[in-house]
Amino acid sequence: MPKPVVPEEKRRRRRPTKSGTVLSEELIVQTALRMLHEHGSAGLTARRLGLALDADPSTLYRYFRGMDDLTLAIGDALIGQALGGWAPTGEWRADLRAVGLRIHAAYVAHPQAAVLTASRVSGRAHELAADEAVLDLLRTAGFPLPDAVRVYHAFVDTTLAFAALDAASLALPRASLHADEEMWRSTYARLPATTHPRIAEAAPLLATRMLTSAYPTALDMLLHSAAAQLDGIGE
């Protein structure tokens, strides 16, 4: 049975750890992010996290119900990083584009964490703030509620899907990532026009384009479609 989480103000250690550190939820999450970056998801365990924090692993359960709860907090922290300092300008399309690019960039900056968290729903503060902001942008722009929810759904899933896809590539071992990227030059670029005419003509562009994320393009297409729909509503 999950242990109850102690409120933040009651769970702080009265004395610092041996290294002089006072534990907090934020410190644990940031340490977990560093461990994911250095060791991948397999290296993130309560025991190893406790060692990194110079604390008994059981102490972590005063802050989180378990490692899955910590995973949700990590995902929420990424969203918090993404929206830190962002403020709407009043231009819904530009604002929504900025939010999407910020979230995607935050996940890609922590690929191992993104692979773990992009598909999760935490219900935590930063996630709720982001959802509220996106829905507010759409409703303020004039989208009827059903359409606002539809665009919101497409926006969130597109953003997180590309974040997961791009992060998964970056989380690969360096040799595997290089082999995948080289495939566009070593195989696709050498296909003869007699058997693969469309690939052959596109090969020079594919060799460059396919090494970058398609998210900005997909996001622009989504926003263009949403804007066209909004224009139709106003007619």
pLDDT in tens, 17-55: 666 678 899 999 999 999 999 888 888 999 999 999 988
Same structural domain, 225 and 153? yes
Question: pLDDT value at position 16?
Answer: 61
8-state DSSP, 57: G
233 burial via Cβ count (<10 Å: 0-12, 13-18, 19+): exposed
Same structural domain, 100 and 205? yes
Contact criterion met (CB below 8 Å) for 113 and 33? yes
Q: pLDDT band for position 182 (50/70/90)?
A: very high
Same structural domain, 206 and 93? yes
Provide the whole-model pTM: 0.87
Question: Is 7 domain-assigned?
Answer: yes
Same structural domain, 44 and 128? no
Question: pLDDT value at position 1?
Answer: 44
Phi, psi of 218 (to 5 degrees): -65, -40
Tokens (6 digits) for 159:
């953003």
Q: What's the CATH number where 40 sits?
A: 1.10.10
Question: Is 83 domain-assigned?
Answer: no
* Arithmetic mean of pLDDT over the chain: 91
Q: pLDDT band for position 59 (50/70/90)?
A: confident
Question: Is 82 domain-assigned?
Answer: no
Same structural domain, 57 and 96? no
Q: pLDDT band for position 221 (50/70/90)?
A: very high
Question: Is 124 domain-assigned?
Answer: yes
Q: pLDDT band for position 10 (50/70/90)?
A: low
Question: Is 126 domain-assigned?
Answer: yes
Tokens (6 digits) for 76:
């929420």
Final residue in a domain of this structure, among 48, 64, 80? 64
**Mean pLDDT lowest among 14-23, 40-49, 177-186, 217-226:** 14-23
pLDDT (tens digit per residue) in 64-109: 999 999 999 999 999 999 999 999 999 999 999 999 999 999 999 9
Question: Chain-centre distance of CA 65, in angstroms?
Answer: 22
Q: What's the CATH number where 115 sits?
A: 1.10.357.10
Total domains present in the chain: 2
Sign of CA dihedral 122, 124, 128, 129: negative
Q: Where are the alpha helices (DSSP H) in 46-141?
A: 46-53, 67-83, 92-109, 111-117, 125-141
The answer for residues whose C-beta is within 8 angstroms of residue 104's C-beta and 6 or more apart is: 159, 162, 163, 166, 213, 215
**What mean pLDDT comes out for the span 158-169?**
96
**What mean pLDDT comes out for the span 202-223?**
96
Same structural domain, 35 and 98? no
**What mean pLDDT comes out for the span 205-222?**
96
Same structural domain, 192 and 129? yes
Range of the domain at 56: 1-64
Same structural domain, 130 and 21? no
